[in-house]
Amino acid sequence: MTVTKMSWRPTYRGSKFRNVYGKAGSREQCFDGIPITKNVHDNHFCAVNAKFLAIVTESAGGGSFLVIPVTKSGRIDPHHPKVCGHQGNVLDIKWNPFMDDVIASCSEDCSVRIWQIPEGGLRRHMKEAVLELYGHSRRVGLIEWHPTCSGILFSAAYDYRIIIWNLEMGEAVRMIDCHPDVVLCMSFNMDGSLLATSCKDKKLRVIEARSGRVLQEANCKKHKVNKVVFLGNTKRLLTTGVSQWNTRHIALWDQEDLSLPIMEEEIDGLSGLLFPFYDADTHMLYLAGKGDGNIRYYEVIPEKPHLQYLMEFRSPDPQKGLGVMPKRGLDVGACEVFRFYKLVIQRSLVEPISMIVPRRSETYQEDIYPLTPGTQPAVTAQEWLSGINRDPVLMSLKEGYQRRTPLVFKAPVKERKSVMVKGIDLLENVPPRTENELLRMFFRQQDELRRLREEITQKDIRIRQLELQLNNLRNSPNNVI
Protein backbone atom coordinates (compact mmCIF):
# COMPACT_ATOMS: atom_id res chain seq x y z
CA MET A 1 0.00 0.00 0.00
CA THR A 2 1.33 3.42 -0.91
CA VAL A 3 1.31 6.14 1.71
CA THR A 4 0.10 9.56 0.59
CA LYS A 5 1.79 12.60 2.09
CA MET A 6 -0.80 15.35 2.26
CA SER A 7 0.34 18.71 0.92
CA TRP A 8 -0.19 21.55 3.35
CA ARG A 9 -0.88 23.96 0.47
CA PRO A 10 -4.67 23.95 -0.04
CA THR A 11 -5.92 22.73 -3.40
CA TYR A 12 -9.27 24.21 -4.33
CA ARG A 13 -12.20 22.10 -5.48
CA GLY A 14 -15.92 22.54 -5.64
CA SER A 15 -17.42 22.04 -2.18
CA LYS A 16 -20.51 23.39 -0.47
CA PHE A 17 -18.48 23.64 2.74
CA ARG A 18 -15.49 25.60 1.46
CA ASN A 19 -16.80 28.82 3.06
CA VAL A 20 -17.75 27.38 6.46
CA TYR A 21 -16.71 29.76 9.22
CA GLY A 22 -16.59 29.64 13.01
CA LYS A 23 -18.55 32.09 15.14
CA ALA A 24 -17.86 32.43 18.86
CA GLY A 25 -20.83 33.10 21.12
CA SER A 26 -21.39 36.52 22.66
CA ARG A 27 -20.71 37.11 26.34
CA GLU A 28 -24.42 36.62 27.08
CA GLN A 29 -24.36 33.21 25.35
CA CYS A 30 -21.38 31.98 27.39
CA PHE A 31 -21.49 30.22 30.75
CA ASP A 32 -19.38 32.26 33.18
CA GLY A 33 -18.03 31.67 36.68
CA ILE A 34 -17.53 27.90 36.40
CA PRO A 35 -14.71 26.36 38.48
CA ILE A 36 -13.46 24.06 35.70
CA THR A 37 -11.39 21.09 36.88
CA LYS A 38 -7.61 21.37 36.77
CA ASN A 39 -7.22 17.63 36.23
CA VAL A 40 -4.63 16.87 33.52
CA HIS A 41 -6.33 13.70 32.23
CA ASP A 42 -6.70 13.78 28.41
CA ASN A 43 -10.50 14.02 28.29
CA HIS A 44 -12.91 16.82 27.43
CA PHE A 45 -14.47 17.20 30.93
CA CYS A 46 -17.56 18.53 29.15
CA ALA A 47 -20.68 16.93 27.66
CA VAL A 48 -23.71 18.56 26.08
CA ASN A 49 -27.05 17.60 24.56
CA ALA A 50 -30.19 19.43 23.47
CA LYS A 51 -31.26 20.06 27.09
CA PHE A 52 -28.23 20.16 29.39
CA LEU A 53 -24.57 21.15 29.58
CA ALA A 54 -22.37 19.18 32.02
CA ILE A 55 -18.90 20.33 33.13
CA VAL A 56 -16.49 18.58 35.51
CA THR A 57 -15.55 21.02 38.27
CA GLU A 58 -12.68 21.49 40.69
CA SER A 59 -13.70 20.26 44.13
CA ALA A 60 -12.20 19.02 47.38
CA GLY A 61 -13.11 15.76 49.06
CA GLY A 62 -14.37 13.91 45.98
CA GLY A 63 -15.41 14.49 42.39
CA SER A 64 -18.30 16.57 41.12
CA PHE A 65 -19.75 18.07 37.96
CA LEU A 66 -22.24 20.80 37.12
CA VAL A 67 -25.39 20.21 35.06
CA ILE A 68 -26.87 23.41 33.60
CA PRO A 69 -29.81 23.81 31.18
CA VAL A 70 -28.35 24.96 27.84
CA THR A 71 -30.83 27.84 27.74
CA LYS A 72 -29.62 29.33 31.05
CA SER A 73 -26.38 30.94 29.94
CA GLY A 74 -24.67 33.87 31.64
CA ARG A 75 -23.15 34.11 35.10
CA ILE A 76 -23.54 30.84 37.03
CA ASP A 77 -24.26 31.00 40.76
CA PRO A 78 -21.17 29.75 42.67
CA HIS A 79 -23.57 27.74 44.88
CA HIS A 80 -25.28 26.09 41.92
CA PRO A 81 -26.21 22.46 42.81
CA LYS A 82 -23.78 19.77 41.63
CA VAL A 83 -23.68 16.06 41.04
CA CYS A 84 -21.25 15.07 43.78
CA GLY A 85 -21.59 11.37 44.59
CA HIS A 86 -18.11 10.17 43.56
CA GLN A 87 -15.39 9.75 46.21
CA GLY A 88 -12.59 10.46 43.71
CA ASN A 89 -11.99 12.91 40.87
CA VAL A 90 -14.41 12.57 37.95
CA LEU A 91 -12.44 11.71 34.79
CA ASP A 92 -15.12 11.42 32.09
CA ILE A 93 -18.81 12.21 31.57
CA LYS A 94 -21.08 11.25 28.66
CA TRP A 95 -24.80 11.85 28.01
CA ASN A 96 -26.95 8.95 26.89
CA PRO A 97 -27.53 9.59 23.15
CA PHE A 98 -31.19 8.50 23.46
CA MET A 99 -32.20 9.99 26.84
CA ASP A 100 -31.40 13.65 27.40
CA ASP A 101 -31.70 13.39 31.18
CA VAL A 102 -29.38 10.39 31.71
CA ILE A 103 -25.63 10.88 32.08
CA ALA A 104 -22.81 8.44 32.88
CA SER A 105 -19.65 9.33 34.80
CA CYS A 106 -16.47 7.53 35.79
CA SER A 107 -13.94 8.37 38.45
CA GLU A 108 -10.72 7.65 40.28
CA ASP A 109 -12.84 5.80 42.86
CA CYS A 110 -12.95 2.83 40.39
CA SER A 111 -16.69 3.19 39.78
CA VAL A 112 -18.99 4.01 36.88
CA ARG A 113 -22.25 5.72 37.83
CA ILE A 114 -25.48 6.50 36.02
CA TRP A 115 -27.39 9.65 37.00
CA GLN A 116 -30.89 10.83 36.09
CA ILE A 117 -31.23 14.62 36.02
CA PRO A 118 -34.65 16.04 37.00
CA GLU A 119 -36.70 17.97 34.45
CA GLY A 120 -35.50 21.57 34.45
CA GLY A 121 -32.15 20.77 36.05
CA LEU A 122 -30.81 20.28 39.57
CA ARG A 123 -32.45 22.04 42.50
CA ARG A 124 -30.18 20.54 45.14
CA HIS A 125 -26.93 18.57 45.24
CA MET A 126 -27.33 15.09 43.79
CA LYS A 127 -25.40 12.43 45.71
CA GLU A 128 -27.32 9.24 44.92
CA ALA A 129 -26.86 7.67 41.49
CA VAL A 130 -29.59 5.50 40.01
CA LEU A 131 -26.93 2.89 39.25
CA GLU A 132 -23.43 2.26 40.63
CA LEU A 133 -21.22 -0.12 38.68
CA TYR A 134 -18.12 -1.72 40.19
CA GLY A 135 -15.88 -4.07 38.24
CA HIS A 136 -12.59 -2.28 37.67
CA SER A 137 -9.69 -2.64 40.11
CA ARG A 138 -8.13 0.73 39.25
CA ARG A 139 -9.38 4.21 38.30
CA VAL A 140 -11.76 4.37 35.35
CA GLY A 141 -10.63 6.87 32.71
CA LEU A 142 -13.00 6.42 29.73
CA ILE A 143 -16.67 5.68 29.10
CA GLU A 144 -18.55 5.36 25.78
CA TRP A 145 -22.23 4.77 25.10
CA HIS A 146 -23.12 2.30 22.37
CA PRO A 147 -24.29 4.29 19.29
CA THR A 148 -27.46 2.26 18.56
CA CYS A 149 -28.42 0.78 21.95
CA SER A 150 -29.40 2.81 25.02
CA GLY A 151 -28.66 0.04 27.51
CA ILE A 152 -25.02 -0.74 26.66
CA LEU A 153 -22.06 1.20 28.08
CA PHE A 154 -18.32 0.56 27.66
CA SER A 155 -15.75 1.60 30.28
CA ALA A 156 -11.94 1.48 30.18
CA ALA A 157 -9.69 1.72 33.23
CA TYR A 158 -6.09 1.74 34.34
CA ASP A 159 -6.33 -2.01 35.00
CA TYR A 160 -5.94 -2.32 31.17
CA ARG A 161 -9.45 -3.75 30.79
CA ILE A 162 -12.60 -2.69 28.97
CA ILE A 163 -15.88 -3.77 30.59
CA ILE A 164 -19.20 -3.96 28.73
CA TRP A 165 -22.13 -3.07 31.00
CA ASN A 166 -25.74 -4.10 30.42
CA LEU A 167 -27.59 -1.25 32.13
CA GLU A 168 -30.95 -2.97 31.69
CA MET A 169 -29.64 -5.63 34.09
CA GLY A 170 -27.18 -3.41 35.96
CA GLU A 171 -24.24 -5.76 35.55
CA ALA A 172 -21.05 -6.44 33.61
CA VAL A 173 -21.59 -8.87 30.73
CA ARG A 174 -18.20 -8.94 28.96
CA MET A 175 -14.60 -8.03 29.66
CA ILE A 176 -12.10 -7.17 26.91
CA ASP A 177 -8.53 -7.79 28.09
CA CYS A 178 -6.46 -7.69 24.89
CA HIS A 179 -4.56 -4.53 25.90
CA PRO A 180 -1.20 -4.83 27.72
CA ASP A 181 -1.29 -1.17 28.82
CA VAL A 182 -3.68 1.73 29.42
CA VAL A 183 -6.40 2.33 26.80
CA LEU A 184 -6.15 5.96 25.65
CA CYS A 185 -9.23 6.25 23.42
CA MET A 186 -12.28 4.29 22.23
CA SER A 187 -14.46 4.87 19.16
CA PHE A 188 -17.41 2.94 17.67
CA ASN A 189 -18.36 2.54 14.04
CA MET A 190 -21.87 3.58 12.98
CA ASP A 191 -23.73 0.40 14.00
CA GLY A 192 -21.58 -0.33 17.06
CA SER A 193 -20.29 -3.69 15.82
CA LEU A 194 -16.64 -2.54 15.82
CA LEU A 195 -14.59 -0.76 18.45
CA ALA A 196 -11.34 1.04 17.63
CA THR A 197 -8.88 1.64 20.47
CA SER A 198 -5.55 3.37 20.91
CA CYS A 199 -3.28 2.11 23.65
CA LYS A 200 -0.21 3.27 25.51
CA ASP A 201 1.72 0.40 23.89
CA LYS A 202 1.65 2.49 20.63
CA LYS A 203 -0.77 0.11 18.91
CA LEU A 204 -4.02 0.82 17.11
CA ARG A 205 -6.61 -1.96 17.27
CA VAL A 206 -9.94 -2.70 15.61
CA ILE A 207 -11.90 -5.02 17.88
CA GLU A 208 -15.13 -6.95 17.50
CA ALA A 209 -17.16 -5.08 20.09
CA ARG A 210 -19.12 -8.02 21.54
CA SER A 211 -16.42 -10.67 21.82
CA GLY A 212 -13.31 -8.52 22.22
CA ARG A 213 -11.58 -10.38 19.38
CA VAL A 214 -8.87 -8.27 17.72
CA LEU A 215 -9.58 -8.05 13.97
CA GLN A 216 -6.81 -5.65 12.95
CA GLU A 217 -3.76 -4.28 14.72
CA ALA A 218 -1.24 -1.60 13.72
CA ASN A 219 2.11 -1.16 15.41
CA CYS A 220 2.72 2.60 15.26
CA LYS A 221 6.46 2.59 15.93
CA LYS A 222 7.16 5.89 14.18
CA HIS A 223 4.57 7.88 16.09
CA LYS A 224 2.49 7.68 19.23
CA VAL A 225 -1.27 7.36 18.66
CA ASN A 226 -3.38 9.21 21.24
CA LYS A 227 -6.88 9.58 19.79
CA VAL A 228 -8.80 7.56 17.21
CA VAL A 229 -12.17 8.10 15.52
CA PHE A 230 -14.21 6.11 12.99
CA LEU A 231 -15.09 8.21 9.93
CA GLY A 232 -18.74 7.20 9.64
CA ASN A 233 -19.51 4.55 7.02
CA THR A 234 -16.36 5.22 4.96
CA LYS A 235 -14.58 2.20 6.52
CA ARG A 236 -11.76 4.50 7.54
CA LEU A 237 -10.17 5.57 10.79
CA LEU A 238 -8.33 8.73 11.68
CA THR A 239 -5.73 8.89 14.43
CA THR A 240 -3.98 11.83 16.05
CA GLY A 241 -0.75 11.68 17.98
CA VAL A 242 2.88 12.72 18.14
CA SER A 243 5.55 11.88 15.55
CA GLN A 244 9.11 10.77 16.30
CA TRP A 245 10.18 14.40 15.80
CA ASN A 246 7.77 15.56 18.54
CA THR A 247 5.34 17.20 16.13
CA ARG A 248 1.57 16.73 16.13
CA HIS A 249 0.63 14.08 13.61
CA ILE A 250 -2.50 12.66 11.95
CA ALA A 251 -2.95 9.46 9.94
CA LEU A 252 -5.80 7.98 7.89
CA TRP A 253 -6.31 4.19 7.95
CA ASP A 254 -8.34 1.54 6.18
CA GLN A 255 -10.21 -0.30 8.95
CA GLU A 256 -9.80 -3.62 7.10
CA ASP A 257 -6.03 -3.24 6.58
CA LEU A 258 -3.95 -1.48 9.22
CA SER A 259 -0.61 -2.55 7.76
CA LEU A 260 0.10 1.00 6.52
CA PRO A 261 -1.77 4.30 6.78
CA ILE A 262 -3.52 5.59 3.65
CA MET A 263 -2.32 9.09 4.38
CA GLU A 264 -0.31 10.78 7.12
CA GLU A 265 0.64 14.37 7.82
CA GLU A 266 2.51 16.39 10.41
CA ILE A 267 0.37 19.31 11.56
CA ASP A 268 2.57 21.61 13.65
CA GLY A 269 5.15 21.69 16.42
CA LEU A 270 2.81 22.45 19.32
CA SER A 271 2.77 20.06 22.25
CA GLY A 272 -0.94 19.87 23.07
CA LEU A 273 -3.07 16.85 22.27
CA LEU A 274 -5.15 16.92 19.06
CA PHE A 275 -8.84 16.07 19.56
CA PRO A 276 -10.55 14.76 16.38
CA PHE A 277 -14.29 15.27 15.74
CA TYR A 278 -16.09 13.83 12.72
CA ASP A 279 -19.48 14.87 11.34
CA ALA A 280 -20.84 11.96 9.29
CA ASP A 281 -23.63 14.12 7.81
CA THR A 282 -21.34 16.70 6.19
CA HIS A 283 -18.19 14.49 6.01
CA MET A 284 -16.29 17.23 7.82
CA LEU A 285 -13.39 16.55 10.19
CA TYR A 286 -12.44 19.00 12.93
CA LEU A 287 -9.06 18.99 14.71
CA ALA A 288 -8.88 20.96 17.95
CA GLY A 289 -5.67 21.32 19.92
CA LYS A 290 -5.63 21.05 23.70
CA GLY A 291 -3.85 24.10 25.11
CA ASP A 292 -4.30 26.25 22.00
CA GLY A 293 -7.33 28.09 20.63
CA ASN A 294 -7.31 26.79 17.04
CA ILE A 295 -9.80 24.47 15.34
CA ARG A 296 -8.83 23.24 11.86
CA TYR A 297 -11.48 21.68 9.68
CA TYR A 298 -11.34 19.50 6.58
CA GLU A 299 -13.67 17.72 4.21
CA VAL A 300 -13.16 13.95 3.96
CA ILE A 301 -13.25 12.87 0.31
CA PRO A 302 -12.90 9.38 -1.25
CA GLU A 303 -10.11 10.31 -3.70
CA LYS A 304 -6.68 11.75 -3.07
CA PRO A 305 -5.65 13.72 -1.05
CA HIS A 306 -8.48 12.18 1.09
CA LEU A 307 -8.55 15.20 3.43
CA GLN A 308 -9.36 18.55 1.83
CA TYR A 309 -8.27 21.43 4.04
CA LEU A 310 -11.02 24.06 4.35
CA MET A 311 -10.24 26.68 6.98
CA GLU A 312 -9.10 27.32 10.53
CA PHE A 313 -10.94 28.97 13.40
CA ARG A 314 -8.51 30.93 15.56
CA SER A 315 -8.94 32.18 19.10
CA PRO A 316 -6.49 33.67 21.62
CA ASP A 317 -8.05 31.65 24.48
CA PRO A 318 -6.62 28.13 24.88
CA GLN A 319 -9.12 25.29 25.25
CA LYS A 320 -8.92 22.60 27.92
CA GLY A 321 -11.66 20.49 26.37
CA LEU A 322 -14.62 20.65 24.00
CA GLY A 323 -18.17 19.40 24.18
CA VAL A 324 -20.16 18.79 20.97
CA MET A 325 -23.87 19.50 20.56
CA PRO A 326 -25.85 16.69 18.85
CA LYS A 327 -27.40 17.59 15.50
CA ARG A 328 -30.91 17.85 16.97
CA GLY A 329 -29.76 20.79 19.12
CA LEU A 330 -28.37 22.94 16.28
CA ASP A 331 -29.93 26.10 14.85
CA VAL A 332 -30.92 24.97 11.35
CA GLY A 333 -32.34 28.42 10.59
CA ALA A 334 -28.83 29.88 10.86
CA CYS A 335 -27.33 27.02 8.76
CA GLU A 336 -25.33 25.84 11.78
CA VAL A 337 -23.72 22.46 11.01
CA PHE A 338 -21.61 21.94 14.15
CA ARG A 339 -21.34 23.50 17.59
CA PHE A 340 -18.56 23.23 20.14
CA TYR A 341 -18.66 24.17 23.82
CA LYS A 342 -15.15 25.28 24.67
CA LEU A 343 -13.72 25.14 28.20
CA VAL A 344 -11.57 28.22 28.89
CA ILE A 345 -10.04 27.48 32.29
CA GLN A 346 -8.19 30.82 32.62
CA ARG A 347 -11.49 32.71 32.45
CA SER A 348 -13.71 30.08 34.17
CA LEU A 349 -15.78 30.21 31.01
CA VAL A 350 -17.62 27.84 28.67
CA GLU A 351 -17.90 29.43 25.23
CA PRO A 352 -20.12 28.11 22.40
CA ILE A 353 -18.54 28.11 18.93
CA SER A 354 -20.87 27.62 15.95
CA MET A 355 -19.68 26.35 12.56
CA ILE A 356 -21.91 27.99 9.95
CA VAL A 357 -22.44 27.48 6.21
CA PRO A 358 -23.16 30.93 4.74
CA ARG A 359 -26.45 30.88 2.81
CA ARG A 360 -28.59 33.80 1.67
CA SER A 361 -31.87 31.93 1.77
CA GLU A 362 -33.58 31.47 5.15
CA THR A 363 -35.42 28.31 4.04
CA TYR A 364 -34.44 24.85 5.25
CA GLN A 365 -31.25 23.71 3.47
CA GLU A 366 -31.78 20.01 2.80
CA ASP A 367 -28.39 19.56 1.13
CA ILE A 368 -26.50 20.33 4.36
CA TYR A 369 -29.00 18.60 6.67
CA PRO A 370 -29.47 14.99 5.52
CA LEU A 371 -31.25 12.46 7.73
CA THR A 372 -29.26 12.11 10.94
CA PRO A 373 -29.19 9.60 13.84
CA GLY A 374 -32.14 10.35 16.11
CA THR A 375 -33.26 9.59 19.64
CA GLN A 376 -34.75 6.13 19.10
CA PRO A 377 -32.42 3.18 19.79
CA ALA A 378 -32.23 0.62 17.00
CA VAL A 379 -31.75 -2.42 19.26
CA THR A 380 -32.23 -3.40 22.89
CA ALA A 381 -29.29 -4.47 25.02
CA GLN A 382 -30.37 -8.11 24.88
CA GLU A 383 -30.75 -8.00 21.09
CA TRP A 384 -27.29 -6.51 20.63
CA LEU A 385 -25.68 -9.02 22.99
CA SER A 386 -27.36 -11.85 21.07
CA GLY A 387 -25.62 -10.73 17.85
CA ILE A 388 -28.04 -8.32 16.14
CA ASN A 389 -26.56 -5.24 14.43
CA ARG A 390 -28.69 -2.42 13.09
CA ASP A 391 -27.85 1.00 11.69
CA PRO A 392 -29.02 4.04 13.69
CA VAL A 393 -32.66 5.10 13.37
CA LEU A 394 -32.56 8.33 11.34
CA MET A 395 -34.59 11.50 11.79
CA SER A 396 -35.10 14.73 9.84
CA LEU A 397 -34.26 18.14 11.30
CA LYS A 398 -36.72 19.95 9.04
CA GLU A 399 -39.61 20.06 11.51
CA GLY A 400 -37.35 20.57 14.50
CA TYR A 401 -36.46 18.15 17.26
CA GLN A 402 -39.56 16.43 18.67
CA ARG A 403 -39.40 13.13 20.52
CA ARG A 404 -42.42 11.02 19.74
CA THR A 405 -42.23 8.57 22.64
CA PRO A 406 -39.92 9.71 25.46
CA LEU A 407 -37.67 6.97 26.80
CA VAL A 408 -37.48 6.46 30.56
CA PHE A 409 -34.46 4.96 32.27
CA LYS A 410 -35.45 2.22 34.71
CA ALA A 411 -32.79 1.26 37.21
CA PRO A 412 -32.72 -2.54 37.60
CA VAL A 413 -33.29 -4.26 40.93
CA LYS A 414 -29.94 -5.95 41.31
CA GLU A 415 -29.18 -9.25 42.95
CA ARG A 416 -25.69 -9.57 44.30
CA LYS A 417 -23.39 -11.19 41.76
CA SER A 418 -19.67 -11.62 41.78
CA VAL A 419 -17.35 -9.81 39.39
CA MET A 420 -14.19 -11.89 39.17
CA VAL A 421 -10.86 -10.41 38.06
CA LYS A 422 -7.79 -12.64 38.48
CA GLY A 423 -9.73 -14.80 40.94
CA ILE A 424 -10.73 -11.83 43.15
CA ASP A 425 -14.35 -10.85 43.69
CA LEU A 426 -14.27 -7.07 43.22
CA LEU A 427 -17.69 -6.64 44.82
CA GLU A 428 -16.51 -8.47 47.93
CA ASN A 429 -13.17 -6.65 47.91
CA VAL A 430 -14.09 -3.14 46.79
CA PRO A 431 -10.90 -1.18 46.00
CA PRO A 432 -10.13 2.06 47.86
CA ARG A 433 -12.01 4.98 46.33
CA THR A 434 -9.86 7.91 47.45
CA GLU A 435 -6.20 8.57 48.20
CA ASN A 436 -6.92 8.93 51.94
CA GLU A 437 -8.81 5.64 51.95
CA LEU A 438 -5.89 4.03 50.09
CA LEU A 439 -3.46 5.33 52.73
CA ARG A 440 -5.66 4.07 55.58
CA MET A 441 -5.87 0.66 53.94
CA PHE A 442 -2.08 0.68 53.41
CA PHE A 443 -1.37 1.46 57.08
CA ARG A 444 -3.89 -1.18 58.22
CA GLN A 445 -2.11 -3.74 56.05
CA GLN A 446 1.26 -2.62 57.46
CA ASP A 447 -0.05 -3.09 61.02
CA GLU A 448 -1.42 -6.51 60.08
CA LEU A 449 1.91 -7.55 58.53
CA ARG A 450 3.79 -6.33 61.64
CA ARG A 451 1.45 -8.30 63.91
CA LEU A 452 1.87 -11.44 61.78
CA ARG A 453 5.68 -11.08 61.84
CA GLU A 454 5.66 -10.79 65.64
CA GLU A 455 3.37 -13.81 65.89
CA ILE A 456 5.66 -15.85 63.62
CA THR A 457 8.71 -14.77 65.64
CA GLN A 458 7.06 -15.87 68.90
CA LYS A 459 6.10 -19.20 67.35
CA ASP A 460 9.69 -19.70 66.10
CA ILE A 461 11.00 -19.08 69.61
CA ARG A 462 8.46 -21.51 71.07
CA ILE A 463 9.40 -24.15 68.47
CA ARG A 464 13.11 -23.82 69.34
CA GLN A 465 12.31 -24.13 73.06
CA LEU A 466 10.29 -27.29 72.45
CA GLU A 467 13.09 -28.73 70.29
CA LEU A 468 15.61 -28.13 73.13
CA GLN A 469 13.29 -29.76 75.66
CA LEU A 470 12.88 -32.74 73.34
CA ASN A 471 16.69 -33.07 72.95
CA ASN A 472 17.13 -32.88 76.74
CA LEU A 473 14.62 -35.66 77.24
CA ARG A 474 16.35 -37.82 74.64
CA ASN A 475 19.78 -37.32 76.22
CA SER A 476 18.63 -37.87 79.80
CA PRO A 477 19.61 -41.38 81.18
CA ASN A 478 16.60 -41.44 83.48
CA ASN A 479 14.04 -40.83 80.73
CA VAL A 480 13.26 -43.16 77.91
CA ILE A 481 11.06 -41.86 75.11
**Confidence category of residue 404, pLDDT binned at 50, 70, 90:** low
- Candidates 125, 55, 101, 94; CA nearest to 403 is 101
**pLDDT of res. 411:** 63
**Confidence category of residue 472, pLDDT binned at 50, 70, 90:** confident
Contacts of 117 (CB under 8 A, 6+ apart): 52, 67, 101, 102, 103, 126
Give the model confidence (pLDDT) of 159-214 as tens digits: 999 999 999 999 999 999 999 999 999 999 999 999 999 999 989 999 999 999 99
Q: CA-CA-CA-CA torsion for 359, 365, 368, 369, nearest 10 degrees? A: 140
CA distance 28 to 337: 21
**pLDDT of res. 462:** 86
Give the number of other CB atoms < 10 A from CB of residue 103: 24
- The 8-class DSSP code of residue 401 comes to -
Sequence ranges of the domains in the chain: 4-425, 434-481
Q: pLDDT at residue 32 above 90?
A: yes
CA distance 240 to 251: 7
In Å, what is the CA distance from 243 to each residue of 21, 40, 298? Answer: 29, 21, 21
The angle subtended at Cα 166 by Cα 162 and Cα 172, nearest 5°, is 50
**pLDDT of res. 223:** 80
State if pTM tops 0.85. Answer: no
**pLDDT of res. 409:** 66
C-beta separation of 4 from 304 below 8 A: yes
**pLDDT of res. 12:** 52
**Confidence category of residue 458, pLDDT binned at 50, 70, 90:** confident
Q: pLDDT at residue 475 above 70?
A: yes
**Confidence category of residue 8, pLDDT binned at 50, 70, 90:** very low
Q: What average pLDDT does this structure show over 412-431?
A: 53
C-beta separation of 68 from 350 below 8 A: no
| More confident: 176 or 404 | 176
Instruction: Specify the pairing of strand 372-373 against strand 349-356.
Output: unpaired
Give the model confidence (pLDDT) of 268-284 as tens digits: 888 889 999 999 999 99
Give the model confidence (pLDDT) of 274-332 as tens digits: 999 999 999 999 999 998 899 999 999 988 889 999 999 999 999 999 999 999 999 99
- Candidates 2, 107, 73; CA nearest to 350 is 73
Per CATH, the homologous superfamily of domain 4-425 is: YVTN repeat-like/Quinoprotein amine dehydrogenase (2.130.10.10)
- Candidates 116, 110, 37, 16; CA nearest to 411 is 116
**pLDDT of res. 11:** 52
- The 8-class DSSP code of residue 370 comes to -
Out of 61-70, 102-111, 374-383, 449-458, which region has the weakest mean confidence (pLDDT)? 449-458
Phi, psi of 115 (to 5 degrees): -120, 145
**pLDDT of res. 423:** 56
In Å, what is the CA distance from 122 to each residue of 81, 129, 230? Answer: 6, 13, 34
